[in-house]
A and B are shown apart, each in its own frame.
Chain A
Amino acid sequence: MLELSNVQTFYGNIKALGGVNIKISEGEIIALIGANGAGKTTTLMSISGIVPPRSGKIFFMGKPIHLLSPHEIVARGISQVPEGRRIFSQLTVKENLDMGAFLRKDKTGIKKDMEHVFSLFPVLHERRHQIGGTLSGGEQQMLAISRALMARPRLLLLDEPSLGLAPLIVKLIFQVIRKINQEDGATIFLVEQNANMALKVAHRGYVMDNGEITIQGTSEKLLHNEDVKKAYLGIVTAT
C-alpha cells in the first residue's frame, strides 16, 4: 500500500534520512521504533509531504506521492497525527473535529464519523463544547487521533501517541489503535519510543538508527531480538 524506496531527507545541509526503505501492506499495523533523533518523525514528515524528501520515491496505492504537496497527500487518504498532538487549542473539541473533515463535503458522512469517534472516545463527547487547550494531555491525544480519523484515512500515521501520558491512558489509546485497525480497516503506521507497547500492537516493525533502517521483521521477532531488547526494551539478558 505504501512504499518508501531509498528516501533521503535533509534539513538544510543536515541529512536526517539516509536512504529509507519501508513497505506497508493494506490492513497492517507497522511500528517504527528507534532512539531520539533517529529520524522517525522525519520519516512521517516525508510521507505526509510537510518535509518533502530530497531524493528517493514514495508510492501510495501504486502511485508516486513524493512530489505532491501536503494537502494533496491528505486528499489521497493519508492522515497524520503530528508529534506533540498539536490540536487547535483555541477551538472547541467539535470544531477541532470539523477541521479534521476539512476536505470532505458529505455532511451526513461527517456526522456519522463524528458519532463514531465519540463512541471510540466517549470522554470527547462529554467535552465537545470545551476548548481544546483546556483538555488534559490524554484527552488531547484522543482528540488528535479522532481529528485525523475524521478525514477517513486509508493510512493513519501516528507520531508518538504515548508521549507524556500515564500508562493507563497509553493502554487505552493502544486499544483504540487496534480497534481502528480491525474494525475500520485502516492501515496504521506507528512511530514510538515506547517500543514494548508498540511492538505488542503491531504486526511488523522497523528499527531505525541514525536515519537508516537497521533491523526489520515481525513484532514477535523484534521483541526477542537481543539488540532490540538491549537498546529499546531495557531488558538485559544474562549472557
Chain B
Amino acid sequence: MRKIKELRQSLLISVWFMFLTFPIMVIRVNTIDNIIEWRWMNMIYVGLGSFVFSFIWRYLLSKKQSGAKLLKADKPAYLLPMQRIFANPWMQMSALFFIAVFAVIFPFVFSSYQINIMTTALMYVVLGLGLNIVVGQAGLLNLGYAAFYAVGAYSYALLNYHFGIGFWTALPIGAALAALFGIILGLPVLRLRGDYLAIVTLGFGEIVRLVLENWNEFSFGPSGISNIPRPGFFGIELNFEQVSAYLYFLVIGICLLAIFVIRRLQNSRIGRAWIAMREDEVACQSMGIDMTRAKLTALALSSMWAGLVGVIFAAKTTFINPASFTFLESAMILSIIVIGGMGTILGVIVGAFLLILLPEYLRALSDYRMLAFGAAIVLMMIFRPQGIVTVSRRTYQFSDENHAPDISTK
C-alpha cells in the first residue's frame, strides 16, 4: 500500500519535472534553418531520471526516519563502520602505518601534478583544523577566515619584496601577524555571538580583501605580487619537481604539528573553556572561566594556522593577488568542517580531502562544480547533519552499579 503511494508520488514528480523542463529540454529553435526541433527523447530521459531519483530520495528519507527511531532506543551516536573498525587499537596502528608509508613514498611514485594537488589538499587540512578551533570547539562562527590566510601570504610576499626576508623567517612572522589580526578582530566582537559575529567576521574578511585590492602603494592592488621565492633548502638550488616534493613534505610536517597541537588543546584547560563557552555563555562565566581570554585565544590560535598556510601558499604559487582570498575561500574552508564533522580532527581531514581532491579528479565535471557542491551540502544536512565523522566521545556507558564510583579525572 505504502509502496504504491510512494510510486504515485514519484510519478507525479516526474510529470511535473517533464512539464517544467519542457521549454528548455524539448524545444530547440534552429535559427539558421528557421525550423523548430522537437526533442521528445529528452523529455523521456527527464521523466525517467526524475522518477528514479525521487523514488530513491523518498526511500532514503523514510529509511532515515525509521532509522532515527531505532537509534533513539538503541544508542545516541551512530558510528560509521569505518569508525567501528578503527576502535580496535591494532587496526588503528596498522592503518596509521600504511597511511604513513603511503605519505612518504607518494612524491617518489606520482607525478608532480599529483604532488601539487595533494599539497593543496594538505594545506586545506591545516586550514580546516585551524578554523575548526573557532567554529567547532569555541562555537564562534567565523566567515572571514580567508582574511587571515591573506595576512600570512602577504606578510611573506611583502617582507620578501621590501626586505628580502626568506621563507623560514617569514613563516613564524606570518603566523604571528595572523594571530595578531585575530586578536584585532576579536576585541570589537567580544560581546557578539551567533549571527552577529558571523556578519562582522564576514565584513572583516571583505575589508582585508578590499584593502589589498585598492591600496596600490602597499599591496600592488589586483595585479598582485609575483616572483615570490620558493623555500630554500640549505642553499641548494632545487628544480621544479624537487621543490614540489620538498613543499609536500613541509606541508605534511605542518599538518602533523597542527594535529598534535590541536589534540593537546582539545584536552587542555583552554579546550574545556572553549567547550563551556560554546555550550552556554552565562554558565561559562559562572564557572569562573575568563571568557574574554578564551575568545581571544581561540581567535588567535585559529588565525595562526591560517597565517602559516598563507606563507606556504605564497611560496608554493610564487604569485599572489587578492583574488585568491575571496569569501568563496572562507566558505570552502567552512564547508570542509561542516561536511567532515564539526569538532573532530579526523572529520576535518576527510572533509578536506573530499572537497579538494574530488573536484580535481572530476575535472570533466568542472562546469557543474558549484551545483554538485550545493547538492552535496543539502544532502549532508538532510541525511547526516552531524557531518561524516561524528564526535564519538558522546556515548552512554552503563557500568556495573556495584562497581566503585568511577570518578577519576581523564
Q: Which residues of A are interface residues toward B (Cβ below 8 A)? A: 48-50, 69-71, 74-75, 79-82, 86-92, 94, 98-100, 102-103, 107, 110-111, 114-115, 118, 125-126, 128-131, 147-148, 151
Please give me the residue from chain B that is nearest to A112 by CB atom.
Answer: B407
Could you tell me the distance in whole angstroms from the C-beta of A40 to the nearest C-beta in chain B? 16
- Contact yes or no, A102 B272, CB < 8 A: yes
Given contacts A74-B287, A80-B286, contact A102 B405 (CB under 8 A): no
The answer to whether B288 and A111 have CB atoms under 8 Å apart is no
B276-295 CB mask vs A (1 if < 8 Å, else 0) is 10011011011111111000
B286 touches A48 (CB 8 A): yes
Contact A102-B269, Cβ < 8 Å, known A69-B292, A71-B289, A111-B407 = yes
Instruction: Please judge, given known A-B contacts A102-B287, A126-B401, whether A90 and B279 are in contact too, CB under 8 Å.
Output: yes
Q: Nearest-CB distance from B335 to chain A (Å)? A: 23
The residue among B275, B285, B292 with the most chain A CB atoms within 10 A of its own CB is: B285
Give chain B nearest CB distance to A83 CB in angstroms: 9
Known contacts A91-B279, A111-B408; A102 and B273 CB within 8 A of each other: yes
Pick 28 A–B contacts, CB within 8 A, sort by A. Answer: A48-B286, A49-B285, A50-B282, A50-B285, A69-B292, A70-B285, A71-B285, A71-B289, A71-B290, A74-B286, A80-B286, A86-B286, A90-B279, A91-B279, A92-B394, A102-B273, A102-B287, A103-B287, A103-B288, A110-B409, A111-B407, A118-B405, A125-B405, A126-B401, A128-B405, A129-B398, A131-B394, A148-B286
B396 adjacent to chain A (CB < 8 Å): yes
* Closest B residue, CB atoms, query A129: B397
Q: Are A151 and B287 in contact (CB under 8 A)?
A: yes
List residues of chain B with CB within 8 A of the CB of A89.
279-280
For the A-B complex, the count of residue pairs with Cβ-Cβ distances under 8 Å equals: 88
Among A70, A79, A91, A107, the residue within 8 A (CB) of B275 is A91
Q: In the bound complex, what is the Cα–Cα distance between A114 and B399 (angstroms)?
A: 18
Q: Which of A48, A70, A94, A111 has the most CB of B within 10 A?
A: A70
If A70-B285, A92-B394 are given as contacts, then 15 extra A-B residue pairs at C-beta distance below 8 Å, sorted by A number, are A82-B283, A88-B275, A89-B279, A90-B394, A91-B275, A100-B287, A102-B269, A102-B273, A102-B276, A102-B287, A111-B407, A129-B398, A129-B399, A131-B394, A151-B288
Decide if B203 is an interface residue (CB 8 Å cutoff). Answer: no
CA distance A88 to B282 in the complex (A): 11
| B203 CB, min distance to chain A CBs, angstroms | 24
Q: Are A74 and B275 in contact, with the CB atoms below 8 A?
A: no
List chain A residues, Cβ under 8 A from B289. 71, 102
Q: Is the CB of B288 within 8 A of A102?
A: yes
Given contacts A75-B288, A88-B275, contact A129 B282 (CB under 8 A): no
A99 touches B407 (CB 8 A): no
Q: Inside 8 A of A94's CB, which chain B residues have their CB?
A: 407
**Which residue on chain A has the smallest CB distance to residue B406?**
A128
What are the 9 tightest A-B residue pairs by CB atom distance, in nearest-first order?
A74-B288, A86-B283, A88-B279, A80-B286, A70-B285, A71-B290, A103-B288, A129-B397, A114-B407
Q: How far is the CA of A48 from the CA of B273 in the complex (A)?
A: 18
Q: Are A99 and B287 in contact (CB under 8 A)?
A: yes
Is B76's CB within 8 Å of the partner chain A? Answer: yes
Q: Give residues 371-404 of B contacting A (CB, 8 Å).
A: 394, 396-399, 401
Pair A129/B396 contact, Cβ less than 8 Å: yes
Contacts of A88 in B (CB 8 A): 275-276, 279-280, 283
Considering the chains assembled together, what is the distance between the CA atoms of A99 and B287 in angstroms?
7
- Chain B residues lying within 8 Å of A100, measured Cβ to Cβ, are 287
Query: Which B residues lie within 8 Å of A90 (CB)?
Result: 279, 394
Q: Compute how far the CA of A92 lies from the CA of B272 in the bound complex, rounded to whole angstroms.
A: 13
